[in-house]
Structures are given as structure tokens and as C-alpha cells.
Structure 1
């Protein structure tokens, strides 16, 4: 007969540590190369949809993946030069998560437009590349919040590293989609709104700590 034995404190602590390591330790940067490329291809396909143009998909994937790779590598020295702390593992994982966010927003827009067109509405009257701008704005929000908490708590010093991927992504998108000046201005305005909301969110999140402990923990 098997008798269940309660775990000791040391055993429970060791198991919790192993679980936390699996959940929160970033994978090696080189393991993120192919997943980033895969998501870039998917997002490029959605960007040119409903057209089925392999050449355009390839160029679109390059316009999405290249800024992601550059950002994954360059965020580390940029953050450290400005007094923060960053690691390549975390940087490439952050880029991958950012592309998931962009892809999710893009997919939601494509599904909505497809569903809308079924009922006789104009097919894809809304430009899908604008959804990508919205996605990159969300990326800026995520990067600003995360880097403020883990790299540098000063917003001015966090902004260059946080905005690196969205800015490079916008450059790639502008070249691919042939943006005009007005499109770029609107994208910058979207970025500004997302960054300001990230600052507001961080300040609101710090208030309970300030009231309880007199410090914000950042």
C-alpha cells in the first residue's frame, strides 16, 4: 500500500523554484530566431491578404523580421548605455512576445473585415497596415512598462530602448506599404498616446507601494 507523504518545506521550495524557472527563465536568444521569422511570415501574409502574392509576402516578412532582429540585438547595449540592465535572452523573448501582440491585433482585424465583407460590405475597405501600426503602438506600451520595471525606472532613459522595435518596425512598414508623410505623422501620434498611457499605468501601479512602504520598488 502506497502511503502519501507530505512534502517538507525544502522539497516544496525546490519544486516551486523549478516551476518558476520553467515559466520565467527566457530561452536562449538563438532559439527565438525561427519563431520570430515564422510570425513575421504569418503577419506578412495577413498584411497582403486577400491577395496571394508570394513575393509581396516575402518582402513583408523581411520588413517585419529585420526590425525585430535588429531590435533584439540592439536593445541590450542601448539600455545599458542609458544606465539600465538588459539581457539578450530577455530582449529576444520580448521581441517575440511583441510580434505575437502585433499578429493578434492584425488577425482580429482581418477576421472582422472578412466577416464584414460576407454581409455585402465593401471588401477590405480598411487598410490592414493601419492595424499593424496599432499593434506596434501596443508593443511600445508593453516594452515601456516592462523596461521601466526591469531595466531603468526613469522614463526618459527607458524611451529609446522601449521605442526601438516600434520605430524600426514603422520604418519597415512605411517602406513596404509606401507610407506618405501624413501616415507617418498619424503613426507617431499613435505611439505618443500609447507611451503616455504606459507612463500613466506605471504611475498608478506605483501608488499603493508608495502609500504602504514609502517607495515604489522601481
Structure 2
């Protein structure tokens, strides 16, 4: 067979392989385990970070979301701050809303507090932590699934911190509780995003709904 024909055949196979790879590539950016370089957070001296802080590279209006734990090492509180990408200054609040989806005691086993941050005319940010070492974490809402970035907590490698950015609507407000009373209760579960942690065999480790806690006042 002429060498020129062999060369053309090889080139055609290379082009075909590239086209197939393009067709099968995921539409989401690569996600998965990361090793962010920690930065100091001293804005609240009474709640200093335990272990490394986690810069997320998720920037809103020039402010990067930074996640960290504080409190007791055996029962840590997951929280966030914002780092000015120009000056490096740390702020605990910026314009927007990061609402707790549920308090830790209300969440299913393994999950810490999970939150959704909403801003005007920008994607949603969701973050949380799970007491496990999953290989994949997702948020599913309105028929669409988004993979999360994640890293192991430096203070306990059995704890995984995760975060993601996606398009969608903010979680709905809770319904008023009772007749003329004070308080609220969440809507049916399928109205809220579903967070799922998977192991290396893609088996479900734990799930949680990103929804606000019920509140109630009696008397």
C-alpha cells in the first residue's frame, strides 16, 4: 500500500478520534478534587478558622468566596468569607444573600450545613460539607445536574468541603405556618435542589435537600 495512502488514513483516524472526543466531552468545566492554597482569615477573632481555609476561585463582583470551619473540631461550623481579588482584604459580608438551607441537626446523616448564595444577575453558588470522602458530589435541580468542586478538610481528611456555581432559580420561600400564627414550613422536597455524594463506584453515600429549616413559635 503506498505510503501516502497510509499517511492519509492515519490523518483521517486522528481527525475522527478528535471529533468523537468533542462530541462526548462533558458540557461542564472539569470538577473534582482540588488543593486550594489557604489564606489567613482573622476578621472575626472569636471564630478563627480550624485547619486550612479554602479559596474557591468563585468570584462575584471582584470578591472570591472562601470557605472555612470554626468552633469545636469534633462539631465544626462551616462558614464563608469574601476576599477582594485586587487588595486581598477579607470581608465577612458582601451584597447578596447566602442563606442556610438547614441547620446541621436537621440535615441527613453525613451532611454539615449547606448553603445557597444568590446575587442579582449572576449564577447561584452552593456550598457545604459532608462527613465522608466521596469521589463526586452533585446538585440536581429542575432536571439539570451540576458537578461540584471539592477538597478534603486539612484538619480531618474524612471531611470533604464542596462548592459549585450554576444557573437556576433561588430556593423558594417557605410557606407560612399555621392559621394566623408565626413561622413557616418548607415546601414539598421535590421543589428544592438535591445534593448527592457518591463513592468511587458511583454509589450514593448521602443526600440532602437544599431547603430552609422550618420555624415555629407556639403560645
TM-score by length of 2: 0.26
More helix by share: 1
**Which structure is higher in RCO with an 8 Å CA cutoff and minimum separation 6?**
1
Instruction: State the TM-score, normalizing by the size of structure 1.
Output: 0.26
